[in-house]
């Protein structure tokens, strides 16, 4: 699969926003929407990638402005959807846009952070091995 034209609904799913948000961004000039060709409206893949980067930078800047600092560059803000604790460990699930992240941490850490369903949190990912697949 090569970069090219991406349908509005696909672009929205990739960025974790609604179709209407993509359309509003098109109307405001944040991204160019092509409605000239037959079929569904599309956006350019490279332009969408650029928008994704700037949207992520805005989100990270807002998080850091709220007082957070970290050396991790892969930061995903989201909402805690599940917390399972035993006497030693805790499993915390976070929904960050379309992404579900699961973290295993000490129960002490989860308690100190006050993590519970509905909490806003930021997952920081540091990894030396990231697998990339192409969709079918």
- Convert the pLDDT of each residue in 86-115 to its tens digit: 999 999 998 887 788 899 999 999 999 999
Q: What angle do CA 58, 62, 67 make, to 5 degrees?
A: 150
- Convert the pLDDT of each residue in 41-87 to its tens digit: 999 988 888 888 787 666 655 555 555 666 666 778 888 999 999 99
Domain co-membership, 41 together with 83: no
Domain of residue 84, CATH code: 2.40.50.100
Which is more confident, 68 or 12?
Answer: 12
Domain co-membership, 59 together with 11: yes
Domain end call among 37, 65, 93: 65
Domain co-membership, 53 together with 24: yes
Could you tell me the pTM of the whole model?
Answer: 0.55
Residue 20 lies in domain: 5-65
Domain of residue 40, CATH code: 1.10.1660
Whether 106 maps to a domain, the answer reads: yes
Whether 130 maps to a domain, the answer reads: no
Separation between Cα atoms, residue 11 and residue 131, nearest integer Å: 21
Domain end call among 40, 65, 90: 65
């Amino acid at each position: 699969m090569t970069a090219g034209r991406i349908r509005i609904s696909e672009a929205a799913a990739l960025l974790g926003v609604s179709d209407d948000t993509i359309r509003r961004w098109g109307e405001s000039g944040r991204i160019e929407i092509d409605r000239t060709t037959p079929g569904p409206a599309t956006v350019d893949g490279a332009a969408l990638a650029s928008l994704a980067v700037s949207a992520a930078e805005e989100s990270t800047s807002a998080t850091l402005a709220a007082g957070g600092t970290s050396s991790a560059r892969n930061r995903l803000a989201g909402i805690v959807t599940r917390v399972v604790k035993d006497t030693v460990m805790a499993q915390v699930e976070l929904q960050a846009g379309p992404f579900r992240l699961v973290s295993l941490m000490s129960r002490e850490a989860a308690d100190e952070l006050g993590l519970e369903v509905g909490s806003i949190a930021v997952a920081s990912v540091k990894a030396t091995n990231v697998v990339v697949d192409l969709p079918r």
